[in-house]
Amino acid sequence: MLLAIFVGAWAAYAAWSEFGQNDLLFASPLETAQAFWDGWRDGSLADATWQSLRILLLGVGIGASIAVLFTVVATLTKVGEDALSLLTAIMNPLPGVAMLPLAMLWFGLSTKAVLFTLANATIWPIAINLTSGFKTANPTILAVGRNIGLSSVRLVSDVLAPAALPNAITGLKTAWAFGWRTLIAAELVFGVVGGEGGLGNYINNAKLYLFTPQMFAALVTIALLGVVFEYGFTLLERRTIVKWGMQRS
Amino acid sequence: MAAVAVAVTPEAGVLLRARGVQLGYWTPGGFTLAVADATFSVAPREKVIVIGPSGCGKSTLLKAVAGFIHPIAGEIIVAGRSTLAPGPDRSVVFQEFDQLFPWRTVLDNVAYPLRVNGWKRGAARDRAREFVELTSLSHAGDRYPHELSGGMKQRVAIARALALDPAMLLMDEPFGSLDMLTRARLQQELNGIIDRTNTTLLLVTHSMDEALTVGDRVVVLAGAPSRVVEVVDVRDVGEPDTPHYAEARLHLRSLLGVRHDREADDGHGH
Amino acid sequence: MQKLRLAAVVIAAALVATVVAAATARGGATALVPDKLVIAYQPGMGYAPLIIMKSQRTLERRYPGMQIEWRVLPSGTAITNGVIAGQIQVGAMGTGPFLVGYARGIDWKMIAPLNEADLWLMVKDPNIRTLADLRGKRIATPTNTSIQAVVLRKMAEVRLGSSKALDAGLLAMDHPDGMQALLAGQIDAHFTSPPFQFQEKNRGARVLGRSYGYFGAHTFLGAVLTSRFYSEYTSFSNQLYRDIAAAIRLIRTNPQKVATILQQDAGGNPTWRQFKQWIGNAAITYTTRPRGLMRTATFMNRTDQLPGRMPSSWTDLVFPPVVPTKGS
């Protein structure tokens, strides 16, 4: 219902306002829908989406792995804990995109630069949440773990890790959101990323050729993807921490 | 960290011997001695209760037997081995309800520790079912801990601990967080289960009724820092409404130095 | 009932927005000169005629009451956006963005070309000897729709068989960044313009290809206005053409003075000596005669770079004062 009103207002603005009528500046819902449909049909939006997602998955994967490594080291050693604390305090407030120019300087104009930026945007939220998850793990079940004879390694993998799952998921959600934003921004700034462009590049290209409906369509795609991600995480939570009654509010 | 278990010649007729055990802990202010001298023994298939007022170090003593902490003096020998690390031969039932793994079902909470200790998947599952039935939880086997009541959770913990076929079952105020009715019921159930499985039990409580209902002998800790003031045989105490019971209870009370009529175990839950 | 009311409120809001938008649009004064003028151009010696006019305050002196603003923007697309949004009246850009805008339906034409220039594709790596060696490599142009990118595609068509053969490696970088990247070895080729191509050549880069070799002598930059502006301020626009032509004459007759103006505008670096040398270089000629417009447009149209309407003759792309120059 709310959506219908919004689309109605959009169409009205496109039809009746001077700004809205300017085809090169503004696209009506109908034009956007047409561009959206065309874009998916001829594969260009699909390619761009997949390209962006591919890099996002890779970047978040790298970031998550590093974060887990850091966290485990921090949990096991005092030095590690202090070092992680310090690093996190410095790096976490930095917006992901801020690292891009530096990354471009170090890695040149390649996918590596984008992956570096993405990894940086994702490591810290995950590390913070995971550390907190480990720290606040129920000490009783840790004692149970030791009691039943688990080795240190299995204690971490079989008890600590699942206990920290709610925090891990929160960290992952945050990292994913940061990563997505950082990636699109990087693509916009960066131009072509590694050969074919993602959604950011799609938008940029549409802008160059003044294909405004395509720009709008890409934005709609990004928004829809956001909803899909949200739903995906909810599903994940439902199958795990909700089922196990471990969800924290 | 954990010192190596040292083998000592096992004593016949004795499963646990504690001799001159001293336990304490570090605080910002310095070192505090909790237990000054604990000396007692537990025979196989015996049910020994350690009782004492709050803060007397009885939980600390249990933790030392379990292997989570080490005595600063004295020795604890279980089945011929001293200086122990935690292990499934002395499985523990804690006071907290959340001692179960929330991500595993009831059945899996009992089966998993078995698998950890070498049981094959199928055999572990069968044995788990056995003990789940023993603790009257067959209908809840596929539920997750968060779907259970407090009493049911403690039953699962007991099933898990017993399924491991421990040399000794250790319990740290297992019913302390339950209401009086549930507590009484579980005490009875525990008696039945222990008798059926021929388990040796060391249970810590501050409830005299619990000690009298469940125990064969009661080790009384009192003082600060605490020491074993007496070990009372309560095997033939009988039902709670008998004079023999009341007499034993009075005796325990005097040992514990309780001044008021109302005691901590009068069903205020936790 | 509730929904109907809600819909009515929304439509009312949209109408209010419309009225506000209309009210803030240019209040059509029917004077012969505009009250306010924004002229936007990009950094580079190619825009010298405009820089001269700015420095000599040509317009400010002739129209004392007019509010004149000179803006330097980073790209042709930024200027295009400004023109579409009505914030820029006179925009100076390369032929590439100009033609794309025309194709997409912006009703604009050139009021005066500024120069024609031979644009060079520069490489540094000695192993890159022919265009084929650039397959899969990174090539920087100012933007994907720039004239440099267009020429690159023409080169690819002629030498490699397909205009899209090098598209995968195209990167958008502005001239100074591109120069840095090429010299540092971060990119493999830089398709640029004067003076950057001269500087790169001096620093060890080689010329792999020249635009004149593919489009003949052709216009590089031009000053652009919308038809609406022209019809509203015709005599002003015609005078603007004459002012630009006069500035160009100055470049020919007094290069020393122009070099000094350029040095001052650039804040002292590069020096007037360098500017004077570059002005004199055969690769760049300042003129108001357009050349190669149709050849470029035809190529772009054929290779799907011109999404929309195609001019039928070069005269479609310019305003009346330019027509007598007999361009192409």
CA-closest candidate to residue A186, choices A169, A200, A206: A200
Q: What is the pLDDT along chain A (249 residues), one digit of tens a residue?
A: 788 888 888 888 888 777 777 777 778 888 888 888 888 888 888 888 898 899 899 999 999 999 999 988 888 788 888 888 898 888 888 888 888 888 877 887 678 888 899 999 999 999 999 999 998 999 999 999 999 999 988 898 899 989 999 999 999 999 999 899 888 888 887 665 444 578 888 888 888 888 888 888 988 888 889 889 989 999 999 888 887 888 764
State the nearest Cα–Cα gap between A249 and chain B, in angstroms: 16
Q: What percent of chain C has pLDDT over 70?
A: 93
Position with higher pLDDT, B91 vs C3: B91
Tell me, yes or no, whether chains B and C touch by having 3 or more C-beta pairs under 8 A: no
> What is the maximum alpha-carbon separation in chain A?
75
Q: Residues near C278 by Cβ (< 8 Å), separated by ≥ 6?
A: C45, C194, C195, C198, C284
Domain count, chain C: 2
Chain A residues at the B interface, defined by Cβ less than 8 Å, are 138, 140-141, 143-144, 146-150, 154, 159, 162, 165, 240, 243-246
Whether cis (ω within 30° of 0) applies to the bond prior to C270 is: yes
State the nearest Cα–Cα gap between C277 and chain A, in angstroms: 33
Amino acid at position C2, single letter: Q
Q: Same domain for C227 and C306? A: yes
ipTM of this model? 0.85
Q: Same domain for C250 and C309? A: yes
Number of inter-chain CB pairs under 8 A, A vs C = 76
Q: Which residues of C touch A1 (CB under 8 A)?
A: 3
Q: Same domain for C154 and C80? A: no
- C-beta separation of B207 from B174 below 8 A: no
Q: Which residues of C touch A12 (CB under 8 A)?
A: 10-11, 14-15
Q: For the domain that residue A189 is a member of, what is the CATH number? A: 1.10.3720.10
Q: Same domain for C186 and C170? A: yes
| Residue B5 DSSP class | P
Q: Same domain for C243 and C290? A: yes
B109-163 tens-digit pLDDT: 999 999 999 999 999 999 999 999 999 999 999 999 999 999 999 999 999 999 9
Q: Same domain for C231 and C180? A: no
Pairwise CB contact (< 8 Å): A209 & C104: yes
Residue C108: in which H helix or E strand, if any? strand C108-117
Q: Which residues of C touch A22 (CB under 8 A)?
A: 84
| Residue C313 DSSP class | S
Pairwise CB contact (< 8 Å): A16 & C18: yes
The answer to whether position C4 is within a domain reads: no
The pLDDT assigned to A92 comes to 84
Residue with tokens 């789940």: B132
CA-closest candidate to residue C199, choices C222, C179, C219, C172: C179
Q: Same domain for C223 and C244? A: yes
Pairwise CB contact (< 8 Å): A148 & B68: no
The answer to whether position C235 is within a domain reads: yes
- C-beta separation of A213 from A32 below 8 A: yes
Q: Same domain for C308 and C236? A: yes
State the nearest Cα–Cα gap between A145 and chain B, in angstroms: 9
Alpha carbon distance C30, B113 (integer Å):
90
Of B87, B91, B102, the CB nearest to A246: B102
CA-closest candidate to residue B52, choices B270, B265, B266: B265
Q: Which residues of A touch C100 (CB under 8 A)?
A: 208-210
Domain that holds residue C173: 120-215
Please report the beta strands in C205-277, taking only residues with DSSP state E, as ranges in sequence order.
206-210, 219-226
Pairwise CB contact (< 8 Å): A149 & B101: no
Pairwise CB contact (< 8 Å): A148 & B94: no
The pLDDT assigned to B267 comes to 46
Chains touching B (3+ CB pairs < 8 Å): A
Q: Same domain for C199 and C260? A: no
Last residue of a domain, one of C199, C215, C231: C215
The answer to whether position A91 is within a domain reads: yes
State the nearest Cα–Cα gap between C155 and chain A, in angstroms: 20
Last residue of a domain, one of C215, C249, C277: C215
Residues of chain C with pLDDT below 50 are: 26-30
Domain count, chain A: 1
Please report the beta strands in B79-138, taking only residues with DSSP state E, as ranges in sequence order.
81-82, 90-93
Amino acid at position A90, single letter: I
Chain C residues at the A interface, defined by Cβ less than 8 Å, are 3, 6-7, 10-11, 13-15, 17-18, 21-22, 25, 77, 80, 84-85, 100-101, 104-106, 138, 143-145, 168-173, 181, 186-187, 307
Pairwise CB contact (< 8 Å): A245 & B99: no
Alpha carbon distance A56, A233 (integer Å):
16
Last residue of a domain, one of C215, C250, C280: C215
The answer to whether position A163 is within a domain reads: yes
Q: Same domain for C260 and C316? A: yes
Pairwise CB contact (< 8 Å): A12 & C172: no
The answer to whether position A135 is within a domain reads: yes
The answer to whether position A67 is within a domain reads: yes
Query: Residue B47 in 3-state DSSP?
Result: strand
Mean pLDDT across B41-61:
90
Domain that holds residue A124: 49-242
What is the C-alpha R_g of chain A?
A: 22
Write the Ramachandran bin of B119: left for phi over 0, alpha for psi from -120 to 50, otherwise beta: beta
Query: Residue A216 in 3-state DSSP?
Result: helix
Question: Which band of pLDDT confidence, cut at 50, 70 and 90, is reported for residue B258?
Answer: low
The answer to whether position C308 is within a domain reads: yes
State the nearest Cα–Cα gap between A105 and chain C, in angstroms: 9
A86 touches chain C (CB under 8 A): no
Q: Same domain for C246 and C304? A: yes
Across all residues in chain C, what is the average pLDDT? 89
Q: Same domain for C283 and C228? A: yes
The answer to whether position C31 is within a domain reads: no
3-state DSSP of A133-182: HHHCCCHHHHHHHHHCCCCHHHHHHHHHHHHCHHHHHHHHHHHHHHHHHH
Across all residues in chain B, what is the average pLDDT? 87
Amino acid at position C165, single letter: A
Q: Kindly report the pTM of this predicted structure.
A: 0.75
Q: For the domain that residue C273 is a member of, what is the CATH number? A: 3.40.190.10
